[in-house]
């Protein structure tokens, strides 16, 4: 490949001319004595795609205007030609767009700050990726049926039915069925529930987990005759006789049904501690952090920047702030880093709509002495004094680097006391796992 490009460069002629002058061959500097170089490694012949890319680059050079004297030296022009040809040829060989290949050469491929967004299953403690959390919850609840089938069915009802209003209405109706049995145990009619009943169908039967709940609390399915409905009969849930001897249990199940909440996987903060690094403000985030894909976000951001540049003189401050808030809602999560005065960097993953107070608690949990007062400073040195604000309201999404500042008066008192202080305020278990930023 190198030999191929050397042959191309040998064919190029660089000419300059001033106004009114004829083009002439510039004087060549005396050749230096060639330095001995190691023999190049054998390379494969350029592919057809690489040759086509090189030819296209040369054609563009020939089309450039030659009447105006160049503003840079011949050597810089040669270097530019060399970079352009090699970038196009290599990009063609790899099947990458030329502009992405050039960017990759200039910036390098940075490793992601985190590999993704992870969650902790509240039943098993298993840590899974975002796209696997519902599957893990279903498997965990299904396994819990062998431990407590009533509790497991209640988890299904509250967790996997997305319409919260339907859940509320359905649960209240189910509780009413149980309440009637508890308050009127002698009334046989309350111990039977017609499955084709309109209210049952519209409010209860449509809920995932509802039928499992009735079976778990002691109902069984029976076909009973209905007056005026022929001899075939219809399906009913009928309470087993032995349950009547445990009516207090039935009451407890009703209260449990009414008071339960959806089972949610807990966001894994993925706390990590890094050595002091000048790369602390550089973030490479995976697609998990966005509502849209990363490519869609980048495209929208580019279009938004162009629109802002065109209309910057016509937009008021309120309009800009409203648009910025709208942009912030595109992020579900945020990756935050807190730099300590000694340079160590604490990193964690948060919901974009969580309050700043959560970050203060996260930092305190990492301290050897969690009573030490401190302040957090956002980008630009702005103090985060209102802990009730959400991260997206503070502009701390999808990532941000913050600084920690100790309370000067307290630190002065500690120093005046003359007590020996640890080398770092961070917990030893964190320091034992300190890493280097990618």
Q: Is 60 exceeded by the pLDDT of residue 57?
A: no
pLDDT of residue 290: 72
Q: Between these two residues, 319 and 72, which has the higher pLDDT value?
A: 319
Q: Which of 218, 211, 221 is nearest to 174 (CA)?
A: 211
Task: Band the pLDDT of 222: cuts 50, 70, 90.
Answer: very high
Q: Cα dist. 371→197, 377, 407 in Å?
A: 60, 19, 11
* Angstrom distance (rounded) from CA 395 to CA 321: 11
pLDDT, averaged across the chain: 78
pLDDT of residue 314: 54
Tell me the domain boundaries of the chain: 118-266, 329-436
pLDDT of residue 301: 67
Question: Is the peptide bond prior to 42 cis by the omega test (within 30 degrees of 0)?
Answer: no
Token couple for 98: 């030329």
Percent of the chain with pLDDT over 70: 65
Percent of the chain with pLDDT over 90: 51
Mean pLDDT of 123-129: 94
Q: Between these two residues, 361 and 288, which has the higher pLDDT value?
A: 361
* Angstrom distance (rounded) from CA 408 to CA 404: 12
Task: Band the pLDDT of 380: cuts 50, 70, 90.
Answer: confident
- Asked whether this chain's domains 118-266 and 329-436 adopt the same fold, the reply is no
pLDDT in tens, 79-120: 554 555 455 555 444 444 444 443 344 334 444 678 889 999
pLDDT in tens, 250-279: 999 999 999 999 999 999 999 999 999 999
Task: Band the pLDDT of 51: cuts 50, 70, 90.
Answer: low
pLDDT in tens, 10-40: 554 444 344 444 444 444 545 555 454 455 4
Mean pLDDT of 368-385: 91
Q: Are strands 333-339 and 399-406 parallel, antiparallel or unpaired?
A: parallel
264's enclosing H/E stretch is none
pLDDT of residue 346: 97
**Which of the four CATH numbers 3.10.20.90, 3.40.50.300, 3.40.50.2300, 3.40.50.150 does domain 329-436 have?**
3.10.20.90
Task: Band the pLDDT of 187: cuts 50, 70, 90.
Answer: very high
- Residues 6 or more apart in contact with residue 68 via CB below 8 angstroms: none
* Angstrom distance (rounded) from CA 102 to CA 109: 12
Residue 5: strand, helix, or coil: helix
pLDDT of residue 100: 41
CATH top class, domain 118-266: mainly alpha
Q: Between these two residues, 288 and 37, which has the higher pLDDT value?
A: 288
pLDDT of residue 79: 55
Q: Is 88 buried (19+), middle (13-18) or exposed (0-12) by CB count in 10 A?
A: buried
Q: Between these two residues, 36 and 214, which has the higher pLDDT value?
A: 214
Q: Between these two residues, 23 and 358, which has the higher pLDDT value?
A: 358
pLDDT of residue 163: 94
């Amino acid at each position: 490949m190198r030999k191929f490009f050397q042959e191309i460069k040998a064919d190029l002629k660089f000419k300059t001319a001033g106004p009114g002058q004829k083009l002439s061959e510039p004087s060549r500097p005396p050749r230096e004595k060639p330095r001995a170089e190691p023999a190049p490694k054998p390379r494969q012949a350029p592919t057809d795609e690489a040759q086509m890319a090189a030819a296209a680059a040369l054609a563009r050079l020939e089309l450039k205007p030659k009447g105006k004297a160049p503003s840079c030296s011949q050597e810089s022009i040669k270097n530019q030609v060399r970079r352009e040809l090699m970038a196009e040829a290599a990009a063609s060989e790899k099947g990458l767009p030329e502009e992405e290949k050039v960017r990759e050469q200039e910036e390098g491929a940075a490793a992601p700050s985190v590999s993704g967004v992870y969650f902790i299953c509240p039943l098993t403690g298993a840590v899974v990726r975002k796209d696997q959390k519902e599957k893990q919850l279903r498997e965990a609840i299904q396994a819990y049926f062998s431990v407590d089938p009533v509790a497991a069915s209640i988890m299904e009802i509250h967790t996997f039915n997305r319409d919260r209003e339907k859940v509320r209405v359905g649960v209240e109706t189910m509780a009413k069925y149980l309440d009637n049995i508890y308050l009127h145990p002698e009334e046989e009619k309350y111990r039977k529930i017609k499955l084709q009943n309109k209210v049952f169908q519209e409010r209860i039967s449509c809920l995932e987990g509802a039928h499992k709940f009735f079976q778990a609390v002691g109902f069984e399915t029976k076909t009973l005759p209905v007056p005026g409905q022929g001899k075939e009969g219809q399906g009913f849930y009928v309470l087993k006789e032995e349950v009547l001897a445990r009516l207090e249990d039935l009451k407890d199940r009703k209260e449990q049904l009414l008071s339960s909440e959806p089972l949610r996987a807990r966001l894994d903060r993925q706390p990590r501690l890094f050595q002091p690094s000048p790369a602390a403000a550089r973030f490479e985030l995976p697609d998990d952090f966005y509502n849209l894909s990363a490519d869609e976000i980048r495209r929208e951001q580019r279009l938004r920047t162009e629109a802002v540049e065109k209309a910057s003189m016509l937009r008021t401050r309120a309009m800009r702030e409203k648009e910025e808030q709208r942009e912030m809602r595109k992020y579900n999560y945020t990756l935050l880093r807190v730099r300590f005065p000694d340079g160590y960097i604490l990193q964690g993953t948060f919901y974009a709509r969580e309050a700043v107070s959560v970050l203060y608690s996260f930092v305190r949990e990492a301290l050897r002495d969690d009573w030490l007062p401190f302040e957090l400073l956002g980008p630009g040195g702005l103090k985060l004094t209102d802990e009730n604000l959400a991260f997206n309201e503070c502009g701390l999404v999808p990532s941000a680097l913050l600084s920690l500042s100790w309370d000067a008066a307290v630190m002065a008192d500690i120093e005046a006391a003359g007590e020996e202080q640890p080398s770092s305020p961070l917990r030893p278990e964190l320091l034992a796992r300190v890493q280097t930023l990618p």
